[in-house]
């Protein structure tokens, strides 16, 4: 146990644990704090509690540079304290700061001059200044000279932490120049370019990065629904929009969710000058599961007693992260129609069936997550052999290049690889588009 670790990371989830490992791998002594005992037990046993490419190798080599604790107050032993806590949005569009306040309350009696607190989680505009004010109010600190507070937003895509941590510009929004310098000096150990700004601009840059993606993917999802209404092919329309056109850029449809994209619009909507605009974006993305179920019913009739195979539980291709995945909403909607639902996902730890078992005698197969393992000729052949003759395949991702959201399995096989060229600015078949 190091008497004075270089840095403490409070919250060892999918943001915090890779960050703690990266600091340790850069030669810093780290204390990681989390109240999830099963999580800590796995780390103490030398196992990653979730999948993050490259993380297990880093965990194997950091050795004694990563100390663990269940107590937030223990973080005060490090001069730098990084908060990677959950920041959910309440159901009535209000930001929930309870976890941040709780940790601050645990730390308050132990903080002293020289401590630096860095907010890594996504937060609403004004939260960094709130934290600074909280420290000043309850301990009388002069933030920016006695102690230091900064927002250093995490912008790395799921499954790409060790690929992007040293390459993506690291935004630092310090409360005062010294706070920015302290945060910049800490994160410089990770070798990414440091970009200094104000706290509120750092907060806005983070949430609007996610809002941009959420809105960008809502457009093709809404267009998919319009195409169904007019008996048009969404993939051909995307191709017409993008082909050799300098102002194209329409993406492909698909489930758009995950713990960041699905909630972060609320950080703006809470005090929006155009209330409802981003709620409408959310309603489009949230309605895709219902649209697919309704499309099934239009083609198959009542789903009572029909076997429907749902492929994919993770919110994003190639990950094991089920948080806020729309697959679960899709399954619930199917169950309300009394369908017999079978599920397969090769990445998640939740109990599920094998691909062969899930598609066996299925009346319909829904591609919920475009995992690379699904977007192969072998997987399509297994579906064709196992499902009922003429089974319906629902593929909003265009995994096999058949360019049909709803099609019978024999049609998909006939069309696979022979559809019009992959639309510009969209992933070609077999290369799942990032969400």
Three-state SS annotation for the chain: CCCCCCEEEECCCCCHHHHHHHHHHCCCCEEEECCCHHHHHHHHCCCCCCCCCCHHHHHHHHHHHEEEECCHHHHHHCCEEEECCCCCEECCCEECCHHHHHHHHHHHHHCCCCCEEEECCCCCCCHHHHHHHHHHHHHCCCECCCEEEEECCCCCCCCCHHHHCCCCCEEEEECCHHHHHHHHHHHHHHCCCEEEECHHHHHHHHHHHHHHHHHHHHHHHHHHHHHHHCCCCHHHHHHHHHCCCCCCCCCCCCCCCCCCCCCCCHHHHCCCCCCCHHHHHHHHHHCHHHHHHHHHHHHHCCCCCCEEEEECCCCCCCCCCCCCCHHHHHHHHHHHCCCEEEEECCCCCCCCCCHHHHHCCCCEEEECCCCCCCCCHHHHHHHHHHCCCCCEEECCCCCCCCCCCEEEHHHHHHHCCCCCCCCCCCCCCCCCCCC
Same-domain status, 239 and 387: yes
- Structural domains counted in the chain: 2
Confidence band, pLDDT 50/70/90 cuts, at residue 319: very high
Same-domain status, 183 and 224: no
Q: Is 427 inside any structural domain?
A: no
Q: Is 403 inside any structural domain?
A: yes
Same-domain status, 356 and 222: yes
Same-domain status, 73 and 103: yes
pLDDT at 417: 65
Same-domain status, 190 and 227: no
Q: Is 421 inside any structural domain?
A: no
Same-domain status, 127 and 242: no
Same-domain status, 216 and 151: no
Same-domain status, 287 and 179: no
Q: Is 266 inside any structural domain?
A: yes
pLDDT at 3: 76
Q: Is 203 inside any structural domain?
A: no
Asked whether residue 424 carries a pLDDT value surpassing 50, the answer given is no
Same-domain status, 158 and 178: yes
Q: Is 39 inside any structural domain?
A: yes
pLDDT at 434: 58
Same-domain status, 232 and 368: yes
Same-domain status, 128 and 55: yes
CATH of the domain at 86: 3.40.50.720
Confidence band, pLDDT 50/70/90 cuts, at residue 64: confident
pLDDT tens profile 71-100:
999 999 999 999 999 888 877 778 889 999
pLDDT tens profile 326-340:
999 999 999 999 999
Same-domain status, 223 and 153: no
Domain housing 119? 7-198
């Amino acid at each position: 146990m190091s008497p004075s670790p270089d840095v403490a990371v409070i919250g060892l989830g999918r943001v915090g644990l890779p960050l703690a490992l990266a600091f340790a791998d850069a030669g810093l002594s780290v204390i990681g704090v989390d109240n999830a005992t099963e999580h800590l037990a796995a780390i103490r046993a030398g196992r990653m509690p979730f999948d993050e490419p490259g993380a297990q190798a880093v965990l194997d080599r950091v050795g004694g540079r990563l100390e663990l604790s269940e107590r937030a107050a223990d973080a005060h032993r490090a001069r730098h304290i990084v908060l990677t806590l959950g920041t959910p949005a309440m159901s009535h569009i209000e930001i929930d700061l309870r976890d941040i306040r709780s940790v601050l309350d645990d730390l308050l009696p132990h903080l002293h001059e020289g401590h630096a607190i860095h907010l890594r989680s996504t937060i609403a505009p004004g939260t960094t200044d709130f934290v600074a004010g909280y420290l000043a109010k309850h301990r009388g600190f002069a933030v920016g000279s006695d102690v230091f507070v900064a927002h250093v937003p995490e912008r790395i895509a799921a499954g790409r932490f060790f690929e992007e941590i040293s390459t993506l510009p690291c935004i630092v929004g310090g409360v005062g120049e010294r706070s920015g310098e302290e945060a910049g000096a800490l994160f410089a150990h990770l070798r990414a370019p440091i970009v200094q700004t104000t706290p509120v601009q750092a907060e806005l840059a983070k949430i609007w990065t996610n809002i941009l993606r959420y809105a960008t993917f809502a457009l093709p999802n809404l267009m998919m629904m319009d195409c169904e209404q007019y008996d048009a092919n969404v993939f051909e329309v995307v191709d017409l929009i993008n082909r050799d056109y300098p102002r194209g850029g329409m993406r492909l449809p698909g489930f758009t969710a995950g713990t960041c994209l699905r909630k972060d619009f609320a950080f703006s909507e809470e005090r929006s000058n155009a209330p409802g605009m981003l709620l409408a974006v959310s309603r489009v993305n949230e309605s895709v599961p219902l649209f697919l179920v309704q499309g099934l019913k239009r083609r198959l009739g009542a789903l009572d007693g029909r076997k429907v195979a749902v492929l994919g539980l993770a919110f994003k291709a190639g990950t094991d992260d089920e948080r806020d995945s729309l697959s679960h909403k899709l399954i619930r909607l199917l169950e309300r129609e009394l369908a017999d639902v079978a599920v397969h996902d090769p990445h998640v730890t939740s109990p599920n069936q094998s691909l062969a078992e899930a598609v066996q005698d299925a009346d319909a197969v829904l591609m919920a997550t475009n995992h690379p393992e699904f977007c192969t000729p072998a997987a399509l052949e297994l579906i064709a052999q196992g499902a009922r003759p003429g089974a319906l395949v629902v593929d909003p991702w265009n995994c096999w290049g058949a360019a049909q959201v709803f099609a019978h399995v024999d049609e998909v096989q006939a069309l696979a690889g022979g559809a019009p060229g992959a639309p510009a600015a969209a992933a070609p078949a077999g290369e799942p588009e990032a969400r």
